[in-house]
Structure 1
Amino acid sequence: MNDFEALVLLNMVKGIGSIRMRRLLDAFGSPVDIFKAAPQKLVEAAGLTPFLARLVLAAPGQMDPIAEIRRADALGIRIMSIADEDYPASLRAIPDPPCILYVKGDLLPCDANALAVVGSRGASLYGLSSAKMFGSRLSEYGLTIVSGLARGIDTAAHRAALDAGGRTIAVLGSGLECIYPPENEGMFCQIAREGAVVSQFPLRMPPLPQNFPMRNRIISGLSKGVLVVEASAKSGALITARCALEQGREVFALPGEVGRENAYGVNALIKDGACLVMRPEEILETLKPLLSFSSGESRLEEETSAAGGDTWDEDDPREHVRDVWQSLDGEPAHIDNIAQKTGLSIPEILSILVELELKGVVRRFPGQSFTRNAS
């Protein structure tokens, strides 16, 4: 067994996460030497419990890292070590980075310019529309969108990036053979073709609840900042935001409607100092000193000032946007009435209204009613 195989095996041992793995490697140097140590040495040098020390030393006789490596190779999955030169630099820089990453797809140098977009699984139409709009616009500017493939906001952000022809990375809280949620298998495959799907967990690891905080740490670690679109008081997106702060990342928050359950967490973030954003360009302006693009990779320099302005031209070249705008006047109009006037679907209308609302030209009222903003 060589060092790489030993590292893969150590990652397969239940109860050995990034922190314990790092302690073991610091204490013994070589992954192979860990499995040659006496149980008491594992306890004394790395702080393992006697039970966990016995699990580690029993692993070579119970698990087969070579079979894991071969299985990954057959599935087109690369098992990346933190010692590899192309291991993501931003992830390597966080406290206790994962020593092993399973990657299906390609992690490219341009993925250093990444933003995480996270939020509620039970997202509202407003939240979904916002995630799509931010994901699409930021992808067009050359940012890679990182999220967790979960239902709701994550799915909307990934889809927006894919539809915009941009890059996206999905970070799973399970092994790459246990796609979760199962209904996103098609998106998983598309992201693997056009971006990358990553996990720190062995191939057949199920989506256990304790995996997701570790997954969230990777989402923020791969990113220059984290945008929280919608989050309840107990949302996992708040864990990602906390990880981002611990890692020195910027946290952005899209304000939610007061009184809505999905708005409580994100509004609390703003109260606690997260950067309130209303337009994608505000994120770009904040992150600009941290971003580095090769020629032709981004429209950031040429368009942020023009596209990111507070003004909006009523002669927008997009016909559907003009139709929605012309259906509004000084009195609140319910979204059903807007749909009747324009012939557009509710999701299409909501996506346009969110964009106009974030530009400050449309005002939202309770009960899904909208009006032109007189100010």
Structure 2
Amino acid sequence: MQDTAPHTPPDPRAIADWIRLEGTNGVGCRTANLLLAAFGSPLAIFRAGHAALAAQVPAAQAAALCAPVTPELARRIELTLAWLSEPHHHLVTQQDADYPGDLLHIPDPPLLLYINGRRELLHMPMIAVVGSRNASTQGRANAENFAEALSRAGLCVVSGMALGIDTAAHEGALRGSGSTIAVIGTGPDRVYPARNRALAHRIADAGCIVSEYALGTPPVANNFPRRNRIISGMAAGVLVVEAAAQSGSLITAQMAAEQGREVFALPGSIHSALAKGCHQLIREGAQLVETVDEVLAAMQVSPLARQVAACPAAGDAALLAALGHDPMEPDALLDSLGQDAGWLAGELLALELAGQLERLPDGRVQRLVRPA
């Protein structure tokens, strides 16, 4: 199942300006966000001139922003535009409607999101499922079962495509209607770890792969803890299945708490090293959960979880009428209703959760009629 939204060719000039801002030496994410707040757009930043820029950032950064585009950066822009010309590849900037709203409000949101797959999933209510790379057999089973149930309940499961718990979470989530998003620590054209190559292809087809890193970025150790802020920032809650003390999953949970997200932890044996991280989180205020229903109940009242279980509103009448009783392509619905893809994804999800619609294996949707 691939992205059902129409593939709109990007504006090469706008994309070039965003990549140039992201790739300017010495200008990190926080500085770029400060400049965007001051000037409004990358184009305005590059047109501002040294004096105006130096009033906002140190002189060295202002000079770097005023410098001509390097051959290396020009090549990056060229490669990115070529990558974007392929189906199901997208570049979402902070100023795009598809940029996840919850992520935009973390302290240092990424400037760009490279997307491979179904970008409409960025509008779904999300929960992160994370844990140890060296997971136990029971831990992997718990992650897979919880993720599948959460996905079937209409939540998109976010994880990091690492071995162990992450892999199990993606596998389970792919079996539900909510599907899954993998946030990776490499460029969108790289797969790490290599043994997850088949899984990455399945996620790109039925779910979505997200990266803030430029094409060709290798698996650098520092990138993985940093990408965790995206995993927690996109989600309304984070479920930690297994975690040793001082593990990367605890970093994700800490970021989630700082971002105002719900934090859940599965308890384990007092004799298991892989339970110590979860027990630490519970002592620090994470919700101890033993069932999926406990997670869903908490997500229902979360201010960040949008319609985890919803009934269709009166406003769905036009959508139901447009659906008719035969299978339809989502693109055809967009054309007939004159709405955007984000709105349609949310409405279709609400109808699906209410039992009034089903998604067919070929990507079409069909209205369900209850017996009188």
TM range (shorter): 0.7 to 0.9
TM-score, normalised with respect to structure 2:
0.73
Q: Would you say the 8 A contact 2:80–2:215 is kept in 1?
A: no
Provide the residue aligned with 1:297 in structure 2: 352
Provide the residue aligned with 1:285 in structure 2: 297
Structure 2 Cα separation of the partners of residues 259 and 53 of structure 1? 55
Deviation per CA, 1:263-288, whole angstroms, max 9, x where unpaired?
A: 22111000111000000110000111
Residue identity in the other structure for 1:142: G
Question: How is 1:247-258 mapped onto 2 (pairs within 5 angstroms)?
Answer: 247-258=259-270
- Is 1:196 the counterpart of 2:208? The answer is yes
Structure 1 Cα separation of the partners of residues 277 and 135 of structure 2? 13
Q: Would you say the 8 A contact 1:11–1:202 is kept in 2?
A: no
Identity %, equivalent residues:
41
Q: Would you say the 8 A contact 2:121–2:156 is kept in 1?
A: no
SS of aligned partner of 1:239: helix
**Larger CA deviation: 8-17 vs 84-93:** 8-17
- Is 1:19 the counterpart of 2:24? The answer is no
Question: How is 1:5-154 mapped onto 2 (pairs within 5 angstroms)?
Answer: 5-13=16-24, 15-36=26-47, 42=53, 44-47=55-58, 50=60, 55-58=64-67, 60-62=69-71, 63-64=73-74, 66-76=77-87, 77-108=89-120, 111-154=123-166
Q: Would you say the 8 A contact 2:157–2:170 is kept in 1?
A: yes
Deviation of 1:257 after TM superposition, in Å, equals 1.6
Structure 1 Cα separation of the partners of residues 54 and 267 of structure 2? 48
1:214 pairs with one of 207, 212, 226: 226
Provide the residue aligned with 1:355 in structure 2: none
**Larger CA deviation: 242-251 vs 108-117:** 108-117
Deviation of 1:57 after TM superposition, in Å, equals 4.3
Provide the residue aligned with 2:278 in structure 1: 266
Structure 1 unaligned regions, length at least 5:
301-375
Provide the residue aligned with 1:317 in structure 2: none
Return structure 1 stretches of 4+ with deviation > 6 angstroms: none
Deviation of 1:136 after TM superposition, in Å, equals 1.3
Deviation of 1:21 after TM superposition, in Å, equals 1.1
Higher relative contact order (CA 8 A, sep 6+): 2
Structure 2 Cα separation of the partners of residues 155 and 38 of structure 1? 47
Residue identity in the other structure for 1:19: R
Residues 54 and 271 of structure 1: CA distance in aligned 2, closer, same or farther (over 3 Å): same
Q: Would you say the 8 A contact 2:121–2:207 is kept in 1?
A: no
Q: Would you say the 8 A contact 1:2–1:32 is kept in 2?
A: no
Deviation per CA, 1:119-158, whole angstroms, max 9, x where unpaired?
A: 1111111211110110111111111110001111000000
Deviation of 1:260 after TM superposition, in Å, equals 2.2
Deviation per CA, 1:250-309, whole angstroms, max 9, x where unpaired?
A: 000001221322222111000111000000110000111334144443379xxxxxxxxx
TM-score, normalised with respect to structure 1:
0.73
Question: How is 1:305-320 mapped onto 2 (pairs within 5 angstroms)?
Answer: none
Residue identity in the other structure for 1:70: L
- Is 1:178 the counterpart of 2:178? The answer is no
Structure 2 Cα separation of the partners of residues 275 and 208 of structure 1? 33
Structure 1 Cα separation of the partners of residues 167 and 80 of structure 2? 29
SS of aligned partner of 2:129: strand
Deviation of 1:43 after TM superposition, in Å, equals 5.2
- Is 1:275 the counterpart of 2:287? The answer is yes
Structure 2 Cα separation of the partners of residues 118 and 186 of structure 1? 20
Residues 258 and 188 of structure 1: CA distance in aligned 2, closer, same or farther (over 3 Å): same
Structure 2 Cα separation of the partners of residues 202 and 296 of structure 1? 37
Residue identity in the other structure for 1:20: T
Q: CA RMSD in A?
A: 2.4
Structure 1 Cα separation of the partners of residues 216 and 25 of structure 2? 13
Residue identity in the other structure for 1:280: V
Deviation of 1:113 after TM superposition, in Å, equals 1.5
SS of aligned partner of 2:230: helix
SS of aligned partner of 2:157: strand
Structure 2 Cα separation of the partners of residues 299 and 216 of structure 1? 33
Q: Would you say the 8 A contact 1:116–1:220 is kept in 2?
A: yes
Residues 220 and 178 of structure 1: CA distance in aligned 2, closer, same or farther (over 3 Å): same
2:258 pairs with one of 240, 246, 252: 246
Structure 1 Cα separation of the partners of residues 45 and 186 of structure 2? 26
